[in-house]
Structure 1
Amino acid sequence: MHDFINTNVESHQNETVFNLHMCETSEFDVSLTKSTTLSFIVSKKNINIVTKKWINSNQESMIGKSYIIPTKAFHYFLPIISENEDELNIQVQSFGLRGELLLNERLLIDKNNKHNSKITAFFETLDENVNKALRVLQLHCM
């Protein structure tokens, strides 16, 4: 297995899913891989953010987190991207209608993938894409 990053959008009648999939090999042991999937599942009622991480595609080693933000409370996502020579640090914050912090999640990307433009493009367009999906879903459900 090698380092890769894939992004995709799944559009369904009642939801739109924005996915970021990453696989990174260890620089010390090429047989050791770390996989991460980050999904933003946008429906009319909620935005569900799901993070899954696992080692060597072993489902038993998977660690997952899930956050649900009601769309009535959601205002925008603010991604903060910083890097050093070893890793890319992405912090995703979500704010509510009154400026309250709804989410503060951090994602570390090893140096193997840190120069991949798919990562920055995914996060730079995240807020705009989520808001577009919400508008479309709200129009279809009226």
Structure 2
Amino acid sequence: MGRDRERKDDGNGDGDGQAEGQAPPLTEWIVAGIGLLLVASCIAFLLLHARGADDAVPQPVAAVDGVQASGGGFVARVSVKNDGPAPAARLKLKLTVEGEPGAEPEEREVELQYLPGGSKREAGVFLANDPRSKRVTVEMLSYERP
């Protein structure tokens, strides 16, 4: 038969068997320290991100990834990457294809509804003329703060 261990009753009714005035075991201190460290880390993380959120702006970078023939015209595939932490809503882009000297450039605008911080979106821009042998630029026009 096994030996029964007797628990000391310290009289406070919690049944932990710890004598009054005796320090908690080392494992309790270690677990409490880990818990305190986790809570403090979470609070610090939230404070740091909340502090910089109001000042942050989106940092969109656009590039033309390719051109394909489409029906009677062409489609330029444009990718936009937001390198900043802040999102952009209703981000307007303007794609310009330089024409022959003296000719008007072909300009198109496209709007991305939402571009989260650190993300990438793609869009297609329809063009009348083949832009593959011409200078193509993409510029950001405006955005709204969501």
TM-score for the superposition, normalised by structure 2: 0.25
TM-score for the superposition, normalised by structure 1: 0.26
Question: Greater Rg, structure 1 or structure 2?
Answer: 2
Higher relative contact order (CA 8 A, sep 6+): 2
Higher normalized strand content (fraction of residues): 1
